[in-house]
Structure 1
Amino acid sequence: MTVTAPPRNSARPRRGSLIEERPLRHPDTTSPEVMGRRGWWLVVLNFLLPGSAQVLAGNRRLGRFGLAATITMWVIALLTVLTGLLWRPLLLSLATNWLVLLIVQVVIAFYAVLWIVLTVDTLRLVKLVRAGTVARIGVPLLAILLAVASTSAAAWTFDRVNSVRETLSTVFGASGPSVPPSDGYYNVLLLGADSGEGRDSMRFDSISVVSVNAETGATTITGVPRDMGHFPFAPGPMKDLYPDVHEGRVDPNCGWSSGINQLQTEVEICRDGNALYPDAHDDGSSPGVEATKDAVEGILGITIPYYVFIDMKGFADLVDALGGVDINVVERLPKGGGPQYEGQPADDWAEGWIEAGQQHMDGDTAQWYARSRYTTSDFDRMRRQRELQQAILAQMTPQNVLDRFTEIADAGQVLVQTDIPADLLPFLADIAMKAKEQPVTTIELTPENGIEEADPDWALVRQMVQDALHPQTPTPAPEG
């Protein structure tokens, strides 16, 4: 039986069948309608799955590289979401690592450039000269719009990551070693310096301690009056100078009172602060801050390893970055640095007024709300400062922070100085998210709460703090 071999070219498909089976790679270039429809498809595919246009109609090697990069980005995004849901501390640890953030920026920039290259190559594959008039105009316009959308999203993400990295580097650049929580709490000394416009000096006029439960995130803020005097110190250099209580000094050249906000003047100007606290600057602190830590530890009976210093001018910038805060003003308050002489009416020197009632305050108004004291007492001012702290926390919603991220990060760089170690940030961020779900407890060391300004009962103060931080659990009554 004789077998006849098929013709040599019988297995090669005709050009018509190629066009029918693979129109994206082998289109009918003589048909403007086919070329136009092909152009729309390629541009959309390039946007939805960068690299797919090249795999289907162009350089397969470039297309495979683009697809691999795209799939890798999807996998990274999916793993990020899963890590946030299942291992939030790990995600926070990565998100606060300077090197990881830098790598993320490089990856984002590389992928954005790759996307642009793939878009340009896709337009080359479209062969606009063979498409119809509508496609010849619409296809490149759509490609440009989609490219702008994708690169804008990449630029937005790059900018946010860069803001985090710069803020971490600026604010948490120097610090001491991490320490474990004390009695289940991280205690942070919060200092406000009233050095905004209209003031000619730097003083710790707002002194409070933020205590955050290391497990639950429950937060307690204890306010210490700035003029509280004759207080005891915790063991340390100042305790050696004042074994019993702090004393003031009257000296024509350099003097200070016994008030706690005078420690900055005493230690930084009138004494050799570097000799008292030689490691302060290397640990991201200062002698004045360390002396204030020792004082507040002695007053409250708790360990305070870290501080956060907030400048009132930067405070105003932060409030503006958050879009303002809502406060119910109980009493009409003046703006301004105070009277030039005793008895001068407020209307003669006030730069403006904060009217009573519900107010949406910008940064300048909020700053004066915290600073104003010439028509009210320091205890009223402490209350207002605590109100502002809670109002700012209320504004720190995820959506608001995301919408105003760059402004908040920029304000934070000039607002905050701290010695909190960067490696502690993931844990603090995690418990801060827990704290958002709970009310904030406040303790004010004022006469209304039984703490006399002239002669405080230090044992009572420490008991108040312990009762707030470690409330007794009611013992259930026995059955029957």
Structure 2
Amino acid sequence: MRDEEPEQRPADGRGRSRARGGQHRAARRGRPGRPGGRNASYAVAEALLMAAVSPALPGLAHLRAGRIRLGGALLAAQAVLLTAAALAFAHLRPLFLQLSVRPGWLTAAMACSVVLAALWALLIVHSYLVLAPAGLSPPWRLAGGTTVSVLCLLVIVPPLTVAHYGHLQRDLVDSVFADGPAPPAAQAGGTRAPAPAPGGASPDRDPWAGVPRLNVLLLGGDADTGRPGVRTDSMTLASVDTGTGDTVLLSLPRNLQHVPVWSDGRRVPYPADGLLNAVYGLGTDRPDLLAGGGRAVRDPGAELLKRTVSHILGLPVPYYVMVDMRSFRQIVDAVGGVRVCVAEPVPVPRSQVPAGVLRPGCRTLTGREALWYGRSRTGSSDYVRMGRQKCLLWALARQAGPLTVLRSFQRLTEVFKESVGTDLPQRLLPALVDLSAKIRDADVRSLQFVPPVVSPGRPDYAAIRRMAARALRDGTGPDRGARPLPVLADGCG
């Protein structure tokens, strides 16, 4: 018996240390003889707590379990990734915004979000397993497994939400914006679309080089439930200085007559008493008025109206954006209403607004109230409501901040896909995202071609062209004329 004693004792100090370490780990993981006792409950609680914090502090559970290398590697990787992400967001934020409208990058972001969700779930499970005590009784195993499952479900929600938003954004871009070359009108009149940088967006390249102004025709259609056909009752050319973001809005009245309908360098026969707001319907019914029967454009009606407005104003009109009444109402409701200051009582049908009038004062209008605030001309005129319409658009653009849009993102994407039409190409979107930031902080000035400036019954189109050219020359930039155009915000309260 004495000959066997040396084999039962540690051979040296390192052996004794390993023996004590093994006993310590065994005690921490729970003894088989007491799986449901106080030690087991404490160990399970500790393992679950470490698993819960592992997505924020990966490797902490592994360090606690004695896996120093793996735990240190996970913490170091987390620190490097967070530092790189913070630096990238601080210095490349405009680039991230531009990439948010590129379908390819959105797909990559969706895939990365799904992978991140899976990695976080696996990290939680593994963090629990390295600390969970051995020999747990069935109730404790069930409690631990259930809690870990709940933690996994909670932690994958944020990255999967990001993936869902990425899917919605990509679907919106693919559905609403044209994918292909710019329309022929974009190359006319010296205003062209910026050429995309090779290999994608480049922060060192000016996308608006050689493009001093971007002109976009903003159309408000009267299509709604119970109203067949489309008439463009709101027609405004937004001309944006691509260097400063200063914008001039040139608004044409719906009842303009003797309209020089224009297509492919020639005048199209049109009744003298025909109104400007009916040109869209003519183009829709007669796509043969466009070269190739209108097959090369998304919306023949909008294309014919673009060419006509371009001829009237003497300015290139490469793109349009069209929103109908129904979608405008839904957009306002989706963002929680729009706050405007009503200067004078606005009569509206009682079937639409129970009070039958929008009373003076500053208030938040619902989608239906906002629609009729911009649409009503009872007791006023087309020209008064044109001003209200521009104020509505200005207020909506100012109040729809990032958090508001994010909160209503899914509903807004559904509305845009159904009711917004445009021929803006996808390749132009990154440059537009950068330009929109300039517009938000710049002056927006307005010129309406209404009486007494213009007589809609017998308009002087040569004078309209001169006024439009002077408005762009004097209405923006540091050297504005002696009588600059009024700032839109000053007249909208």
- TM-score above 0.5: yes
User: SS of 1:47's equivalent?
Assistant: coil
Q: 1:263 aligns with which of 262, 273, 279?
A: 279
CA deviation after TM superposition for structure 1 residue 232, in Å = 3.6
Q: Are the aligned partners of 1:129 and 1:136 in contact in 2 as well (CA < 8 Å)?
A: no
**Partner in structure 1 of residue 387 of structure 2:** 383
Separation (CA, whole Å) in 2 of partners of 1:350 and 1:142: 52
User: SS of 1:302's equivalent?
Assistant: coil
Report the residue type matching 1:316 in the other structure: R
Change (3 A) 1:217 1:140: farther
User: Any residues of structure 2 matched to 1:76-155 within 5 Å, and which?
Assistant: 79=84, 81-127=86-132, 143=148, 146-155=151-160
**Partner in structure 1 of residue 30 of structure 2:** 29
The alignment status of 1:431 with 2:435, answered yes or no, reads: yes
User: Any residues of structure 2 matched to 1:233-248 within 5 Å, and which?
Assistant: 236-237=263-264, 239-242=265-268, 247-248=270-271
Q: Are the aligned partners of 1:128 and 1:136 in contact in 2 as well (CA < 8 Å)?
A: no
**Partner in structure 2 of residue 340 of structure 1:** none
Q: Are the aligned partners of 1:35 and 1:131 in contact in 2 as well (CA < 8 Å)?
A: no
CA deviation after TM superposition for structure 1 residue 329, in Å = 2.2
CA deviation after TM superposition for structure 1 residue 150, in Å = 2.2
Q: Are the aligned partners of 2:323 and 2:421 in contact in 1 as well (CA < 8 Å)?
A: yes
**Partner in structure 2 of residue 252 of structure 1:** none
Separation (CA, whole Å) in 1 of partners of 2:193 and 2:413: 26
User: Any residues of structure 2 matched to 1:244-393 within 5 Å, and which?
Assistant: 247-248=270-271, 257-269=273-285, 271=286, 273-274=287-288, 276-278=290-292, 280-283=294-297, 285-336=298-349, 353-357=356-360, 358-393=362-397
Change (3 A) 1:267 1:417: closer
- Larger mean CA deviation between 172-181 and 103-112 belongs to 172-181
User: SS of 2:315's equivalent?
Assistant: coil
Separation (CA, whole Å) in 2 of partners of 1:470 and 1:138: 74
Report the residue type matching 2:468 in the other structure: V
Separation (CA, whole Å) in 1 of partners of 2:256 and 2:392: 22
Change (3 A) 1:305 1:474: closer
**Partner in structure 2 of residue 342 of structure 1:** none
Q: Are the aligned partners of 2:178 and 2:422 in contact in 1 as well (CA < 8 Å)?
A: no
Task: Give the alignment's TM-score, normalised by structure 1.
Answer: 0.79
Task: Give the alignment's TM-score, normalised by structure 2.
Answer: 0.77
Change (3 A) 1:473 1:114: closer
Q: Are the aligned partners of 2:260 and 2:312 in contact in 1 as well (CA < 8 Å)?
A: yes
Cα-to-partner distance string for 1:445-468 (whole Å, 9 max, x where unaligned): 1114x2222222333323332333
**Partner in structure 2 of residue 466 of structure 1:** 469
Change (3 A) 1:411 1:329: same
Separation (CA, whole Å) in 2 of partners of 1:80 and 1:281: 46
Cα-to-partner distance string for 1:180-229 (whole Å, 9 max, x where unaligned): 46861111111111112342331111111111211111122221111112
Separation (CA, whole Å) in 2 of partners of 1:51 and 1:348: 64
Cα-to-partner distance string for 1:228-273 (whole Å, 9 max, x where unaligned): 1223456x33x5234xxx6417xxxxxxx4311121233332x4x1
Could you say what the CA RMSD is over the residues aligned between the two structures, in angstroms? 3.8
Separation (CA, whole Å) in 2 of partners of 1:19 and 1:64: 19
Report the residue type matching 2:454 in the other structure: I
Cα-to-partner distance string for 1:125-183 (whole Å, 9 max, x where unaligned): 34367789xx9999778756654442221232122212111111111144542724686
- Figure out how many residues of one structure are paired with residues of the other and give that number: 439
Separation (CA, whole Å) in 2 of partners of 1:93 and 1:352: 45
- Structure 1: which 5+ runs fail to align? 1-6, 250-256, 337-346, 476-480
- Larger mean CA deviation between 451-460 and 436-445 belongs to 451-460
- Larger mean CA deviation between 31-40 and 368-377 belongs to 31-40
Separation (CA, whole Å) in 1 of partners of 2:352 and 2:128: 68
Separation (CA, whole Å) in 2 of partners of 1:349 and 1:431: 37
CA deviation after TM superposition for structure 1 residue 93, in Å = 3.3
Separation (CA, whole Å) in 2 of partners of 1:146 and 1:179: 49
Aligned sequence identity (%): 26
CA deviation after TM superposition for structure 1 residue 386, in Å = 0.6
User: SS of 2:28's equivalent?
Assistant: coil
User: SS of 2:227's equivalent?
Assistant: coil
Q: 2:237 aligns with which of 179, 186, 209?
A: 209
- Larger mean CA deviation between 210-219 and 89-98 belongs to 89-98
Change (3 A) 1:351 1:400: closer
